[in-house]
Amino acid sequence: MEILNIEAIRIPTITDIIDIVILAYIIYKLLVLIKGTRAMQMIAGIALLFFASFLSGVFHLNTLKTVIDSTISFLPIAVIVLFQYEIRKILARMGTYSFIKNHESIEEHIIEQILKAANMLSKEKKGGLIVIERGQGLGQYIETGITIDAKISFDLIINIFEPKTALHDGAIIISKGRIAAASCLLPLSSNPHLPPHFGTRHRAGIGITEETDAIAIIISEETGKISFAKNGTIMHYKDKSFEGMKNHLIGLLEMENKKGSKKNLLGKIKEAFKK
Ligand SMILES: Nc1ncnc2c1ncn2[C@@H]1O[C@H](COP(=O)(O)OP(=O)(O)OP(=O)(O)O)[C@@H](O)[C@H]1O
C-alpha cells in the first residue's frame, strides 16, 4: 500500500513561497486586527459551529447536522452585515491609494503656528479641535462646516476657537496646507473602552482618526490638556516643552511626509489592517 504519494510532492517555487508569505501575513494581520474585539468572539462562535457540525456528523445526528450546516451556509452574509463598518473602513483606506506624493503636505512653520495656537487655547482653557488631513481626503467632513480656505496662522486659529463666536463649535480641518473649514462635524467614536469622562470633543477627535488616517489635536476646555489622536488612539501630551510637542506632532505626521512618496498599495492595505 502506498502511504505517501511522492509524485504529488513538488519542490515549492519562489512564487509558492511568496504566495504563502503573503497569505500568512494577511492572516497574522487579521488576527492582530480582531484580537480583543467582538470579531474574536464571533470567530470563536463560528469555530464552535464547525466543531458541532463535525461532532454531529461523527455521531450521526443527522437532523442536528442539517440545521447546523444550513446555519453555516448563511455565515458569509452574516459576516458582511455585522462587519460592514470595518469592511467599509478598510476599502475606503485602500481607495485612497495614490502614486503621487502630496506636495502640499504640511510644513514645519505651519506646525508651529498650529501648536502655538493649541498652547494658547490650553493656557486660556478654551476648547479646540484641529484635524490634519493626511492621505485620505476629508471632503465629506469639510462639507459639514463653514468654508474658510485660508492660510494657517496662529491668530486665525485663536479667533476661530474664541468662545461664543460663530465658528468656535466643532472642528477646524486642515487640508492641503490650508484651513479648509471650521465648525466641522466629526463622527463620534463609539469605542466602549474610552474613559467615561471623555465628552463629545474628545470622542469626535478620536472618531475621525478611527474613520480616516487623519490626525486630531484636541484641546480640553475643562482641563486645558492637549491630546493627539491617531488611528483611534489618544495620547495625552506629557512633555510640556514646545519643541517636544512639535517633534511629537512631526513624528505623527512624518509617515505621510517621509514615506508619502513611497506609499504604495501594500502600504495602504497595511495601514488599513493596522486598526
Ligand atoms: N461631532 C462633533 N464634531 C466636532 N466637534 C464636536 C462634535 N460634538 C461636539 N463637539 C465639540 O465639543 C464641544 C463639547 O465638548 P464636551 O465638553 O462635550 O467634550 P469634552 O470631550 O468633555 O471636552 P472638554 O474637555 O473640552 O470639555 C462642543 O461644543 C463642540 O465644539
Closest residue by Cα to residue 128 from 225, 239, 248: 225
User: 1 in a domain, yes or no?
Assistant: no
Closest ligand 1 atom number to CA of residue 202: 21
How far is ligand 1, taken at its centre, from the CA of residue 205, in Å?
9
Note whether 120 and 68 are same-domain residues. no
User: 6 in a domain, yes or no?
Assistant: no
Q: What is the DSSP letter of 201?
A: H
Note whether 85 and 145 are same-domain residues. no
User: 239 in a domain, yes or no?
Assistant: yes
* Last-in-domain residue among 96, 129, 156: 96
Q: What is the ipTM of this complex?
A: 0.96
pLDDT at 253: 83
Alpha carbon separation from 98 to 87, 215, 264, 269 (Å, rounded): 20, 19, 7, 12
Note whether 123 and 192 are same-domain residues. yes
CA-to-CA distance for 240 and 127, rounded, in angstroms?
18
Name which residue sits closest to atom 12 of ligand 1, judged by CA: 201
Q: Which of 191, 200, 210, 236 to mutate to test the pocket of ligand 1 (most atoms within 8 A of CB)?
A: 200
Note whether 91 and 118 are same-domain residues. no
Closest residue by Cα to residue 122 from 34, 38, 217, 247: 217
- Host domain of residue 234: 108-261
Alpha carbon separation from 209 to 46, 71, 132, 189, 216 (Å, rounded): 30, 36, 10, 9, 7
Note whether 251 and 148 are same-domain residues. yes
User: 179 in a domain, yes or no?
Assistant: yes
CATH (domain of 165): 3.40.1700.10
User: 19 in a domain, yes or no?
Assistant: yes
Report the pocket of ligand 1 as residue ranges, CB < 6 Å.
Answer: 127, 129, 169-171, 185-186, 188, 198-202, 204, 220-222
Hey, which residues does 235 pair with through a beta bridge? 228
User: 123 in a domain, yes or no?
Assistant: yes
Q: pLDDT 10s digit of each residue in the chain, 275 long? A: 455 566 666 788 888 899 999 999 988 877 776 666 667 778 888 889 999 999 999 999 999 999 999 999 988 888 888 777 777 777 766 665 544 444 456 788 889 999 999 999 999 999 999 999 988 889 999 999 999 999 999 999 999 999 989 999 999 999 988 999 999 999 998 788 888 889 999 999 999 998 888 999 999 999 999 999 998 899 987 666 888 888 888 888 864 444 444 444 555 555 555 54
* Last-in-domain residue among 61, 96, 131: 96
Hey, which residues does 130 pair with through a beta bridge? 172, 217
Note whether 80 and 131 are same-domain residues. no
CA-to-CA distance for 248 and 227, rounded, in angstroms?
11
Name which residue sits closest to atom 10 of ligand 1, judged by CA: 201
Name which residue sits closest to atom 6 of ligand 1, judged by CA: 170
How far is ligand 1, taken at its centre, from the CA of residue 192, in Å?
18
User: 184 in a domain, yes or no?
Assistant: yes
Note whether 189 and 91 are same-domain residues. no
CA-to-CA distance for 44 and 188, rounded, in angstroms?
29
